[in-house]
Chain A
Amino acid sequence: MTELKSTCWVAAIYIGVALLVSSANAEDKGEPFRPVVGKFPPLEEALSYRGELVFVDHANRRGSIRVQGEGTYFRNAPHPFAMLPYGIVRFHGAPADLRDIPLGTVLHFRAFLPPDPQTSAVPVLPVDSRKKNSGYSGAGIYPAENHILLLEDEPSYCQRTGQAWKLIGVDIKDNAGMIVASRETKADGDGQANEESMTFDAATRIWRGRECLGVEDLIAEGIWPAIGKKTLEGQSVLLGITWKPTPDGVFTRFHISDIWLDKTAMQRAARSQTETHKTFIRGRWMPAWVDAVEYGKFGRATVTATLFGGMDDSLYADFKKDVSAMMNGVENTLKHTGGNYGPAHMASRGSILEVTKADGEPPLGSSGIQIRLETDLIIEGIRPGRVVRIRPANWPQVNLPREEFIGDGSDPEDRFPTPAIFPKY
């Protein structure tokens, strides 16, 4: 009898453990992926979509886009998004801030579910939102994956993925009309890619070397006809894409804002944007993640931090062993904490003890560069998992505008902006 009891207990425990394990496995498989603090999420887990930039709140690194779905595009209400703290913006093939992108630009997104729904700066939606049908708008226009790892305009996307637009033909009247083109791999496009019709008009900018031309200039040079159709034989270009209202019956049709006819023209655009962003980052400091803090005595500490990625190389080159530096706590919006007297007033000061570069390709969002900074006065915001900003000594010491820093930190809304700003349609 005792033996039977023991056997029953063993069996019960075995079944219980088996059920527990299988339930845990199910959870592992069923739980949707969310980025976690301290880890850069793998790009392949991101949801991809594209759409028109409709609204920007650059100070809080968020905005709205009209996501391209299956239905009538004009009906799609602006969809709020927030940049992840390590999220990267690219414009004209160069690093950018949200403020650099003109409203109306069509962008490519790689996005995740909110890492921490409770503090999301944009509305939190059901995880299967992207599959839901929104009437005439179709499915896919309100993805719950609204926290962005990578946001890039069309030429940035094409250059990253090694693609270009091949122009098939143009149909023109009164300096406006339609271009048929296909986005193909630059090297060996086989002409099998999907053709897309896009509008252009007299405001479309055409970049050739240093020149900025209009459609009428191409006509004057006899390159495009004044009226009628012309085959363009797969001419390889890069396009800037926007959206404008379309006549009834057209579900989704994009508009060409810019055409870069050659490599020089695109490189010059990238150079200008790079310089804009370099000045921006030097003024706002390099964002990074705190990996570890070793505390010493009397406020002394050594902080290990990974610099965020996506910046121009020349900025990273300023992080050198033994240079003086400052480190300040920031929020997930990358807003500096504490004050009217500029970030330098509150930041921890110290020296960079070491700079290491990880082997291999770092995950998107990371630079792969880790620094160790020693300070004699560690401040509150610098803790493992928190975001900081760092200024090497050779960057200018400037004061930031009011909307780019947090007051005294006593207002939770300042630290964690709520989604209340976004209209409900």
Chain B
Amino acid sequence: MTQLKSTCWVLAIYLGLILLANTVKAQGEDEPFRPEAGKFPPLEKAHSYRGELVFVDHANRRGSIRVEGTGKFYRNDPHPFAMLPYGIVRYHGAPADLRDVPLGTVMHVQAFLPPEPKISSVPVLPVNNKDKDAGHYRGTGIFPAENHVQLLEDEPSFCLREGMVWKLKEVELQNNAGKILASREPKAGGDGSFKEEGLTFDAATRIWRGRERIRVADLVAEEAWPASGKKQLGGQAVLLGITWKPAPGDGLSGAFTQFHISDIWLDDESIEYADQFQTETHKSYIRSRWMPAWVDAVEYGKFGRATVTATLFGGMDSSLYKDFRKGVSAQMNGAENTLKHAAGHYGPSHVSSSGKILDITRATGDIPVGSSGLQIQFETDLIIEGVRPGRVVRVRPESWPKMQIPREEYLFENSPEDRFPTPDIFPKY
């Protein structure tokens, strides 16, 4: 009897352990992916969507986007998003800040769940939100919980990265406005089997040709397009800037989602010009705000001396990275996940750690999006509080100008709301 009891107990414990192990395993498998501090998340784990930029709080690197779902686009409430500290914005095929992107621009988004829901600067939603039907003819997919963005890019940036172009099939116009039938296809080797999309354009649509900025009326005057009626465009390859405008028929005659063409780049030269202007804008921006980076390790010395190893964030123009060279003087300041500088009315230079770049190394192999693959070793004789492993910093090589940044772009007395802005700014519809 005793032996039977013991056997039963052993069996029960064994079964219990198996169940527990299975539960733990299931939990581990089911646990949705979240980025972690110190690791750049793989882009293939991101949730992709696109939508119209509706609101921007650039100082806190967040905003709202009207996400394209399966229903009527105009009904979709603006959906708050926050850039990850290493999140990249691209506009006109070049690096950008949120402030550079005009409201109304349709953007491609690659996003993750909040890495730390407790300090999310945008609302935290149930993890399966992207699969829920939002009701009211909005369909699914318009409020994804994946609202922390790793890559945000406008249409030409997306096409250039993916090696795609828009092939124009047909234009129909009257009074300098109308509709274009086009499909997004690989630049080379498209077999014409891609889905056609009807996009509107109007007299305000900008058409870029080399250095020229022309209008629909100019194309009509040159007889490239008819003054009224239809014309076949034979798959002319262009890049498009896409926005959204309320259009007749939305919800009335079934035009659930119809986008609008803000810009057409007719040739490579014209988009290269646009890229160049945006690149220069962003270079000057980063030089004054400093290069963001992640602290990988800190080796402490004596009397405040320390050597910091940090990985520079990616997505900048390559000329900016070239300024990080062995032996150059530099400054490093603590920053928040919003990339706001810590402390100060007297500019980031006033409180930052000053020192020298001892070494710079380039990672080999695939560099994850968000990282530059460049790691610097920086030695300072006075390490400051914000420079700790896993924290975000900003670094200025000595060749960059020492600027005073505006009030909304730095923290002052480190109030929690300043450091971790709450989602209260976003209206609830």
A residues contacting B by CB (< 8 A) are: 54-59, 66, 72, 74-78, 99-100, 102-104, 201-203, 205, 210-214, 217, 244-248, 268, 271-273, 275-276, 279, 283, 340, 342, 396-403, 407, 420-421, 423, 425
User: Do residues B248 and A217 form an inter-chain contact, with CB atoms below 8 A?
Assistant: no
**Given A103-B99, A201-B284, A202-B280, A247:B408 Cβ within 8 A:** no
Cβ distance B336 to chain A, nearest Cβ, rounded Å: 14
Residue in A closest to B200 when the chains form the complex, CB atoms: A279
B residues contacting A by CB (< 8 A) are: 54-59, 66, 72, 74-78, 99-100, 102-104, 136, 202-204, 206, 208, 211-215, 218, 245-248, 250-252, 273, 276-278, 280-281, 284, 288, 345, 347, 401-408, 412, 424-425, 427, 429
User: Do residues B245 and A283 form an inter-chain contact, with CB atoms below 8 A?
Assistant: yes
**Given A276-B204, A397-B248, A66:B277 Cβ within 8 A:** no
- 16 A-B residue pairs with Cβ-Cβ distance under 8 Å, sorted by A, are A56-B103, A75-B404, A75-B407, A78-B407, A78-B408, A103-B99, A203-B281, A212-B208, A245-B403, A245-B405, A268-B215, A275-B202, A275-B203, A399-B251, A402-B76, A403-B427
**Given A203-B284, A272-B204, A283-B246, A246:B408 Cβ within 8 A:** no
Residue in A closest to B77 when the chains form the complex, CB atoms: A402
Q: By CB atoms of chain A within 10 A, which of B401, B403, B404 has the most?
A: B404
B-side contacts of A275, CB under 8 Å: 202-204
Whole-angstrom CA separation of A396 from B211 in the bound complex: 35
User: Do residues B407 and A398 form an inter-chain contact, with CB atoms below 8 A?
Assistant: no
Q: By CB atoms of chain B within 10 A, which of A54, A246, A420 has the most?
A: A54
- From B103, B405, B424, give the contact of A58 (CB < 8 A): B103
User: Do residues A212 and B424 form an inter-chain contact, with CB atoms below 8 A?
Assistant: no
User: Do residues A401 and B212 form an inter-chain contact, with CB atoms below 8 A?
Assistant: no
B-side contacts of A212, CB under 8 Å: 208, 211-213, 273
User: Do residues B103 and A246 form an inter-chain contact, with CB atoms below 8 A?
Assistant: no
User: Do residues B211 and A213 form an inter-chain contact, with CB atoms below 8 A?
Assistant: yes
Whole-angstrom CA separation of A244 from B58 in the bound complex: 15
B-side contacts of A59, CB under 8 Å: 54-55
Cβ distance A137 to chain B, nearest Cβ, rounded Å: 9
Residue in B closest to A274 when the chains form the complex, CB atoms: B204
Which 4 pairs show the lowest CB-CB distances between chains A and B? A275-B204, A203-B280, A398-B246, A245-B403
Whole-angstrom CA separation of A56 from B288 in the bound complex: 23
A-side contacts of B424, CB under 8 Å: 420
- From A58, A205, A244, A399, give the contact of B284 (CB < 8 A): A244
Whole-angstrom CA separation of A283 from B277 in the bound complex: 32
Whole-angstrom CA separation of A423 from B422 in the bound complex: 11
Whole-angstrom CA separation of A332 from B202 in the bound complex: 30
B-side contacts of A75, CB under 8 Å: 345, 404, 407
B-side contacts of A203, CB under 8 Å: 277-278, 280-281, 284
**Given A74-B406, A212-B213, A403:B99 Cβ within 8 A:** no
User: Do residues B404 and A72 form an inter-chain contact, with CB atoms below 8 A?
Assistant: yes
Cβ distance B22 to chain A, nearest Cβ, rounded Å: 45
User: Do residues A421 and B211 form an inter-chain contact, with CB atoms below 8 A?
Assistant: no
Cβ distance B85 to chain A, nearest Cβ, rounded Å: 20
User: Do residues B427 and A248 form an inter-chain contact, with CB atoms below 8 A?
Assistant: no
B-side contacts of A425, CB under 8 Å: 407-408, 412
Cβ distance B299 to chain A, nearest Cβ, rounded Å: 32
Whole-angstrom CA separation of A244 from B283 in the bound complex: 12
A-side contacts of B55, CB under 8 Å: 57-59, 403
Cβ distance A318 to chain B, nearest Cβ, rounded Å: 14
Whole-angstrom CA separation of A56 from B101 in the bound complex: 13
Residue in B closest to A413 when the chains form the complex, CB atoms: B427
B-side contacts of A342, CB under 8 Å: 251
Cβ distance A243 to chain B, nearest Cβ, rounded Å: 8
B-side contacts of A72, CB under 8 Å: 404
B-side contacts of A402, CB under 8 Å: 74-78, 429
User: Do residues B276 and A103 form an inter-chain contact, with CB atoms below 8 A?
Assistant: no
Whole-angstrom CA separation of A399 from B74 in the bound complex: 7
B-side contacts of A103, CB under 8 Å: 56, 58, 99
Cβ distance B175 to chain A, nearest Cβ, rounded Å: 11
User: Do residues A247 and B407 form an inter-chain contact, with CB atoms below 8 A?
Assistant: no
Residue in A closest to B427 when the chains form the complex, CB atoms: A403
User: Do residues B401 and A247 form an inter-chain contact, with CB atoms below 8 A?
Assistant: yes
Residue in B closest to A420 when the chains form the complex, CB atoms: B424
B-side contacts of A400, CB under 8 Å: 74, 246
Residue in A closest to B176 when the chains form the complex, CB atoms: A275
User: Do residues B408 and A77 form an inter-chain contact, with CB atoms below 8 A?
Assistant: yes
User: Do residues B75 and A340 form an inter-chain contact, with CB atoms below 8 A?
Assistant: yes
User: Do residues A401 and B246 form an inter-chain contact, with CB atoms below 8 A?
Assistant: yes
- From B54, B57, B206, B408, give the contact of A401 (CB < 8 A): B54
Whole-angstrom CA separation of A350 from B306 in the bound complex: 77
**Given A75-B345, A201-B280, A402-B76, A210:B213 Cβ within 8 A:** yes
User: Do residues B74 and A247 form an inter-chain contact, with CB atoms below 8 A?
Assistant: no
Whole-angstrom CA separation of A361 from B85 in the bound complex: 53
